[in-house]
Homo-oligomer: A and B are copies of this chain.
Amino acid sequence: MKNKILLLGLMPLMAFGQQNVHIPAPEKSPEVKDNGTVVFRIKAPEGKEVKLSGAFDGVTPSRSTYEGGEYVFAFDSVAPDLYDYWFEVDGVKTLDPSNPYVARDIAWLSNIFIVPGGNADWFATADVPHGSVHKNWYRSDMLGGEERRMTVYTPAGYEESGETYPVLYLLHGMGGDEDAWGELGRAVQILDNQIAAGKTEPMIVVMPNGNALRNAAPGFTGDGMYIAEGEHSIDPEKIFVKSFPEIIEFVESNYRVKADKAHRAVAGLSMGGGHSWQLGLRYPDTFDYIGLFSPAVRWNGAGVDENGDDTELIKLLERQFANPPKKYQIAIGRDDFLYGINESYRELLDSLQLPYEYVESEGGHTWRNWRNYLVDFLPALFRNP
Interface of A with B (CB < 8 Å)?
Answer: 1-11, 13-25, 28, 42-50, 87, 89-95, 97-102, 104-109, 113-114, 124-127, 129-137, 147, 149, 156, 159, 173-175, 218-222, 224-225, 227-232, 234-235, 253-254, 270-271, 274, 296, 298-301, 304, 306-310, 336-337, 340-341, 344, 347-348, 351, 364-367
Contact = CB atoms under 8 A, between A and B. Distances in A.
Contacts of A23: 107-108, 229-230
A364 B19 CA distance: 7
22 contacts: A2-B308, A5-B344, A8-B234, A9-B235, A16-B173, A16-B365, A17-B106, A19-B336, A19-B337, A20-B365, A23-B108, A24-B107, A44-B90, A89-B92, A89-B94, A93-B97, A95-B95, A95-B109, A100-B227, A100-B228, A125-B221, A127-B222
A380 B185 CA distance: 42
A384 B221 CA distance: 33
Contacts of A135: 132-134
B89 A6 contact: no
Given A17-B175, A113-B225, A220 B4 contact: no
Contacts of A47: 90-92
Contacts of A129: 137, 147
Q: Which of A104, A228, A234, A271 has the most CB of B within 10 A?
A: A234
Contact of A175 (B21, B127, B133): B21
Contact of A17 (B45, B109, B174, B301): B174
Nearest to A221: B125
B340 A6 contact: yes
Given A8-B299, A220-B125, A222-B126, A137 B132 contact: yes
Contact of A21 (B45, B105, B147, B227): B105
A351 to B, nearest CB: 7
Given A13-B230, A94-B94, 18 more contacts: A5-B308, A7-B304, A8-B298, A9-B235, A9-B299, A17-B175, A19-B337, A20-B367, A22-B108, A23-B107, A45-B90, A90-B90, A95-B95, A100-B106, A100-B108, A101-B218, A127-B222, A159-B254
A107 B26 CA distance: 11
A39 to B, nearest CB: 15
B18 A337 contact: yes
